[in-house]
Chains A and B, each alone.
Chain A
Amino acid sequence: MTNDTAFDGRRWHDMGGTAAGPVPSDQHDFSLWEKRVDALMIIASGKGHFTVDGLRRVLEDMGEEAFETMTYYERWIASVNQNLIEAGVYTTSELAQRMTEVAARGPTYGEAASE
């Protein structure tokens, strides 16, 4: 049995020329939390902890399913976080404890986010 779908080396994110349907026209306005993600990326990369290339590399390595199931800024915060962990700015343990604490503050973003 031949493997008709043998990997040829083209990575999933390298989309130029691949099959696709109509360009979607829906557009959403950005939430505060999404703008915060964008700001954190600009600020943290500006401090030299990682580059936009590192951001892209992690986004690519997340795989195609992440592109299909997560929103743009969900993938971005995942990538920003991984880059910061790799840079040693904080540890997984510190993040874990803080995420648990954040979730305990309340069930909505408004309650969980400190101003």
Chain B
Amino acid sequence: MSDRHYMRVRADMPPGHVRTPAYLRGKTGWVERTLGPFPNPEQLAYGHKGQPLPLLRVRFSMEEVWGPDVDRPHDTIDAEIYSHWLEPSEAPHAP
């Protein structure tokens, strides 16, 4: 697990068009692959040019997202998150 790059999704809750799902905010996952650059949809949505941003596929465990009581804690969710929503982090603590 030491070669994983853990990232925490910022827990911000802004209004408007954002593509970081609320259920992942404040959660920590690891980088599955790096994509991008892709233009920022938060700007494109309002008719502005989108600043190119790195896009990352981040993988989260079900137990990290929904808590330790889930039926299948080791299933995973992969989501594409723009880099300005991510902060380098440590592995989530084991419960």
Contacts and interface: CB of A to CB of B under 8 A. Distances in A.
B95 interface: no
Give chain A's interface residue range (CB within 8 Å of chain B): 10 to 19
B44 A54 contact: yes
B35 interface: no
B47 A50 contact: yes
Interface stretch (B2-10, B15-23, B51-59, B81-89): B15-23
Interface in A43-91: 50-51, 53-54, 56-57, 60, 86-87
Interface string A7-19: 0111100101100
A17 B41 CA distance: 23
B45 A16 contact: no
Interface in B5-37: 13-17, 21-24
A10 B22 contact: yes
B22 A60 contact: no
A87 B44 CA distance: 13
Interface in B28-79: 41, 44-47, 50, 65-66
Interface of B: 13-17, 21-24, 41, 44-47, 50, 65-66
